[in-house]
Amino acid sequence: MSNISSAKSSLRAELEHVQSGLAYYQSRVEALNSAIHQLDEIGDEDMLDLEIAEEIPSGKVSTGRRGRRPGAAKKVTKPGRQARGASRLPATGGDFFPNLLTGQKQTMSALLHAAAAQMPFKATPEELTQLRSRLVAAISGMLKSGAISDQGKGRERVYFKA
């Protein structure tokens, strides 16, 4: 019995849906018929062209355009990359980092502090980061060439002249 009642309710729902669709399409038919009727009242295009030609005096016909010309908009300036100021760090090539190393064992942190102490100014955190990257590159190069030696691992690692 419940199957029959559910089938009835399903059919009723579908019927309501179809009827609402039918009402929609009937309103669309009426709207389209009214649009066609209005266009019929206006007339044919050939007659309109003749009427317009009679209204425009002979001479130069404007072929005006709507809107702005291409490229007429203001150019929006995009914020560019900030220019890096000239670094205050002196050149650290040559003997700068090898002269920091002595026969005593020194950690990377001690070497960085020694390098910062040789600067003629107090280095900013950004400059210390740059100096640290230069120091790491120089130390690894000297280790590979055999100019210095190291002992330990990680933060315990110390560097000294061989």
pLDDT digits (tens, 9 = 90+) for 95-132: 888 888 888 888 888 888 888 888 888 888 888 898 89
Sequence spans of domains, the chain:
2-55, 98-161
Residue holding tokens 């019995």? Answer: 1
Contacts of 148 (CB under 8 A, 6+ apart): 98, 101, 139, 142, 159, 160, 161, 162
Query: For residue 81, what pLDDT band results from cuts at 50, 70 and 90?
Result: low
> Count of residues for the chain?
162
Class of domain 98-161: mainly alpha
Are 159 and 149 contacting, i.e. CB atoms less than 8 angstroms apart?
yes
Whether residue 48 has pLDDT greater than 70: no
Write down the pLDDT at residue 59. 59
